[in-house]
Amino acid sequence: MRMDDSPELNEGELLRWCAEAVMFPLALVWMTKNGEENSTLKWHASDVDENAATLEFNHNGTNVRLNFNFDSQTHLVTSMHCMRPRMVGTMTERLAGKDIVMIMSVAEA
pLDDT for the residue numbered 31: 64
What pLDDT does 45 receive? 93
What is d(CA 71, CA 13) in angstroms, rounded to the nearest whole number? 26
The 3-state secondary structure of 5-54, one letter per residue: CCHHHHHHHHHHHHHHHCCCHHHHCCECCCCCECCCEEEEECCCCCCEEE
**pLDDT below 70 — which residues of the chain?**
1-4, 30-32, 85-109
The reported pLDDT for the residue numbered 93 is 65
Task: State percent of the chain over pLDDT 70.
Answer: 70
